[in-house]
Amino acid sequence: MRESFLKRLFSKVECGICGQRYDMSNIKVIDQEDGLWVLSVYCNSCRTQGLIAAVVQDGTIAEVITDFTEDEYDRFTDGEVVGIDDVLDVHNLLKDFEGDIASLFSKN
């Protein structure tokens, strides 16, 4: 499938924040494998940057899976999903933690 065709397809996708359609010039293909396309999109209207992962079949977008940012995508594709360091971090956090679970996950 050609990239220009795909961009045209994605220019019909609306921004998840403001509903404006993406401009073709603001759609960038980041990755493609077995019909799974990962595209970076930028909304002119609300200036939101997003990432779209979609399964494209027979010229139609079968599924839009996510709207990660580009940084998040890099992090998830390059790293382990949950590494041993993450487990140790949580272990150490819980070891010294006093209080209930709700306060553990609250921001303050």
**Site for Zn ion, rule CB under 5 A:** 15, 17-18, 20, 43, 45-46, 48
When the beta carbons of 9 and 43 are compared against Zn ion, the nearer one is 43
When the beta carbons of 17 and 88 are compared against Zn ion, the nearer one is 17
When the beta carbons of 45 and 69 are compared against Zn ion, the nearer one is 45
CB of 83 to Zn ion, least distance (A): 34
When the beta carbons of 11 and 48 are compared against Zn ion, the nearer one is 48
Q: Locate all alpha helices (DSSP H) within the chain, ordered by sequence.
A: 3-10, 70-78, 84-96, 101-105
The backbone torsions φ and ψ at residue 84, rounded to the nearest 5 degrees and listed phi first, read -60, -35
Cβ–Cβ < 8 Å for 52, 14:
no
CB of 64 to Zn ion, least distance (A): 15
CB of 16 to Zn ion, least distance (A): 8
CB of 46 to Zn ion, least distance (A): 3
Report the C-alpha gap between 108 and 103 in whole angstroms: 8
* Closest CA relative to residue 30, chosen from 18, 42, 20, 21: 42
